[in-house]
Amino acid sequence: MSVITKPGEAVAPVDTITVTIDGIEVQVPKGTLAIRAAEMIGIAIPRFCDHPLLDPVGACRQCLVEVPDMGNGRGMPKPQASCTLECAPGMKISTQVTSPAAAKAQEGMLEFLLVNHPLDCPICDKGGECPLQNQALSNGRGESRYEGVKRTFPKPVPISAEILLDRERCILCARCTRFSEQISGDPFIALVERGALQQVGKYADDPYNSYFSGNVIQICPVGALTSVSYRFQSRPFDLISTDSTCEHCAGGCSLRVDHRHFQVKRRLAGVNPEVNEEWNCDKGRFAFVSGRGEDRITRPLVRRDGVLKVASWPEAIDAAVAGLQAAGNSVGVLTGGRLTVENAYGYAKFARAVLGTNHIDFRSRPLSAEETGFLTSQIAGRTLGEGVTYGDLETAKQVVLVCFEPEEETGAVFLRLRKAVRKKGLKVTTIAPYASNGSAKLNATLVATAPGDEAAALAGIELDGDTVVLVGERAATAPGVLTAVVTATAKAGARYAWVPRRAGDRGAIEAGCLPTLLPGGRTVADSAARVDVAAAWGVDSLPAEPGLDAAAILEAAADGELAALVVAGLEPKDFANAVATREALEAAGFVISLENRLSEVTERADVVFPVALIEEHAGTFLNWEHRAGVVNTVIKQANNPMTDLRVLAALADALGKPLGVRTVAQAAAELAELGAWEGARPASADAAKAKPAKVKAGSYRLATWREMLDGGRGMDYEEALAATAKPAVARVSPTVATAAGLAEGDLVTVTTAAGSFSLPLEVAADMVDGTVWVPTNAPGMSLGEYGVLAGDAVQLDRGGVA
């Protein structure tokens, strides 16, 4: 494991001690384990149970070394497990390199491990990348002397819908069980039985449903844990690996993407100590097949006589150009939150320099003017060095979560917080309607708060210089919260970070996909900034009139005030009001959609351009820290679909106003050259007045957030993953349940102004009264369809919708 420090950060002085390993002196920080000290001088001691991110256990005994001197002149009588042996000053350690006894002990251990192992490497997924196989060859005996009967088990057994367990291959290193307990806090698997019959077990019929379960497959040192999706798909040596960055959320986890036959076969957590360490979530790992359905768009579509028909590229570009020319600058651009920085930059430049409008917004979700002001004045232009990082979450004494459920919304943040809670005594406080599972695993103090009251709740929490406030994108629906976060942290000397949900959100802000922002944090309102960008782009001027935000764009389109829309990948149901969004798309005179799958937008579009999937193009995502994550092209085919950027460049060319960039590299170079704005930053926007929802007697305030595994289309076709999702429920406090005569498990109906939906009831003991929580986007039930937001009044009745 390497020790990584942030650039520019002073390296704290560490107490070091000197030990001698195989005759080589090495200085190591106090508390270093012998196995790590050996790594530092390039000596690899074989190991199975040891994992640098898990607590030492010393179970497999593979890493035995001799200790001829403990540092006090006396040797240890028995060989020691180097994974649990802390270095002491002056200690002498002899590994297998210099100690025949250590080498024999290790050989013996490998022979034991193979006693009950089936040696089915030729049909095992792990064969070729298996630590047991590799170390048996590097550190084991050539042949086993075991001639007896092996232990057998029926196999494989599912431990969840996604993961299968082969108990015969298992060497009982307890990495998976320790991961589930220590890292993700979901101890739903444990070792059971004893002796050679010991095995990984789950509790009765309850599966190992954890958002992070896939990691146990990756850290399994044998082929005992396999995924339903990858099992028997490929041999490791037939795969081609590409480093990339996950596109599912703003966490920015590094990925290793393995493909074969021009198809991604699996994704693994990449090693990135500064971001995701060595973990990722199941959505990032398993949800990568949504672009393989029959709804994939591979050719342009043009609406003729009311029907979308396959068209040639020149035909589609002509149709798009005709539509755009007719619209002039009366165009709205909705980019969604899934674009790479380079693609987002393409849209931002296309809107300003080609269409001549500031009507551009990436937010395909509920938003507010307060949020626009906050993003413009506080977030845009912040660099990695200025903001909060994952590392800062570990060194903070207190983290306050506001409108943010890390486990559901940014898994890597959750894991880092949990690590800090376990290892560094971090105190987490959450302002939420109830303590979710994720909050419980963070041992968080709940400040039970009804939606809309978050700003007041924040005022009651003591902040200091060691506090970090993490505010989620849901704050847009809680008036006054964003402003309260800025002022409260400034006053207390605390720090805060805004954690959006989608991978492209942070990059879209820097690229200029907001009505108020040009690239690099330059504001539209600042004439100097406009001149700066116009000069760089080689255009006479940029539109100065303030643009409309996404909600206003849709409203204007519905009212016939906007003649055309250019829409990237987004879903109407994600907006505050899905019905109104669809109506706006239908009412708009002309809609261009850039998509990779047929969608509710393409259904309503006049021209549809196919664009590349994440694995088909390169680019950059900026995560919530504003850290750049590189996306590399995984599938390299000459006929890969075009990027959004390339399509926009083609349209610009046809419109006679060249975009100036057409490749990802060009866009990245131009954005880099443009650089960050060094001029004045806008003053912070005024706070929106918190207006507690007027809730009539018998009504409840709606609380909601998106769950990690939900009805999002990115998870499509990965049914095993979907089966591990949490069931959708409505949650209320015991008081509410009693008052309404409801019991846990009852089917209840939530009624909004726009209709009703039914869910089973769950009673949460710590739920704030007068509130009902439902998921934002469960499969088949999306709040956007009802046009309700957190804080809105809803009715709650017993029984299902007839």
Partner 1 sequence: MTDLLTPVLSANWGDEKSWDIAAYTASGGYAAIDKAFAMTPDEVTNLVKDAGLRGRGGAGFPTGMKWSFVPKDNPNPKYLVVNGDESEPGTCKDIPLLMASPHTLVEGMIIASYAIGCHTAFVYIRGEVLHVIRRMRHAVEQAYAAGHLGKNIHGSGYDLDIIVHAGAGAYICGEETALLDSLEGRRGQPRLRPPFPAVAGLYASPTVINNVESIASVPCIVANGAAWFSSMGTEKSKGMTIYSLSGHVARPGQFEAPLGITLRELLDLSGGIRAGHELKFWTPGGSSTPILTGEHLDVPLDYEGMASVGSMLGTKALQIFDETVSVVRTTLRWVEFYKHESCGKCTPCREGSWWLVQLLKKFEDGVAEEGDVDKLLDVCDNIGGKSFCALADGAVACVTSAVRHFRPEFEAGYHTPAYELFPYGRSALFEVAEGSHA
Summarize as ranges the residues that interact with partner 1 (CB under 8 A): 56-62, 64, 77-79, 84, 104-105, 107-109, 111-113, 115-116, 145-146, 148-149, 151, 171-172, 190-198
β 590-595/263-269 pair status:
unpaired
Q: With respect to partner 1, which residue has the nearer C-beta, 79 or 300? A: 79
Q: With respect to partner 1, which residue has the nearer C-beta, 38 or 65? A: 65
Report the chain's C-alpha Rg in angstroms. 28
- In sequence order, which residues have a C-beta less than 8 Å from that of residue 286 and are 6 or more positions away? 162, 214, 227, 229, 267, 718, 720, 721
Ramachandran region of residue 371, left (φ > 0), alpha (ψ -120 to 50) or beta? alpha
Rounded-to-integer distance, Cα 435 and Cα 439, Å: 5
Q: With respect to partner 1, which residue has the nearer C-beta, 86 or 392? A: 86
Q: With respect to partner 1, which residue has the nearer C-beta, 33 or 763? A: 33
- Residue 378 is classified by DSSP as I
Rounded-to-integer distance, Cα 223 and Cα 597, Å: 35
Q: With respect to partner 1, which residue has the nearer C-beta, 142 or 460? A: 142
Q: Do 772 and 790 form a contact (C-beta atoms < 8 A)?
A: no
**Minimum separation from the CB atom of position 190 to partner 1 (A):** 8
**Minimum separation from the CB atom of position 76 to partner 1 (A):** 10
**Minimum separation from the CB atom of position 423 to partner 1 (A):** 16
3-state DSSP assignment of residue 685: coil
Nearest partner of 129 among 219, 12, 198, judged by Cα: 219
**Minimum separation from the CB atom of position 71 to partner 1 (A):** 15
Q: With respect to partner 1, which residue has the nearer C-beta, 77 or 741? A: 77
**Minimum separation from the CB atom of position 195 to partner 1 (A):** 4
**Minimum separation from the CB atom of position 92 to partner 1 (A):** 19
Exposed (0-12), middle (13-18) or buried (19+): which is 283, by Cβ within 10 Å? buried
DSSP for 297-326 reads --S-EEEETTEEEE--HHHHHHHHHHHHHH
The letter for the amino acid at 434 is: Y
Q: With respect to partner 1, which residue has the nearer C-beta, 12 or 204? A: 204
Nearest partner of 722 among 283, 268, 205, 188, judged by Cα: 283
Q: With respect to partner 1, which residue has the nearer C-beta, 150 or 309? A: 150
Rounded-to-integer distance, Cα 681 and Cα 591, Å: 35
**Minimum separation from the CB atom of position 194 to partner 1 (A):** 5
Q: Is the peptide bond before 156 cis (omega within 30 degrees of 0)?
A: yes
Q: With respect to partner 1, which residue has the nearer C-beta, 116 or 410? A: 116
**Minimum separation from the CB atom of position 550 to partner 1 (A):** 53
Packing angle of the helix pair 131-139, 100-115 (nearest 10 deg):
140
Q: Write out the two tokens for 605.
A: 């579009």
**Cβ atoms < 10 Å from Cβ of 600:** 17
**Minimum separation from the CB atom of position 191 to partner 1 (A):** 7
Q: With respect to partner 1, which residue has the nearer C-beta, 201 or 800? A: 201
**Minimum separation from the CB atom of position 77 to partner 1 (A):** 8
Q: With respect to partner 1, which residue has the nearer C-beta, 8 or 77? A: 77
First-to-last alpha carbon distance for the chain, in angstroms, is 59
- Residue 749 is classified by DSSP as E
3-state DSSP assignment of residue 773: strand
**Minimum separation from the CB atom of position 493 to partner 1 (A):** 32
HEC per residue, 181-219:
HHHCCCCCEEEECCHHHCEEEECCCCCCCCCCCHHHHHH
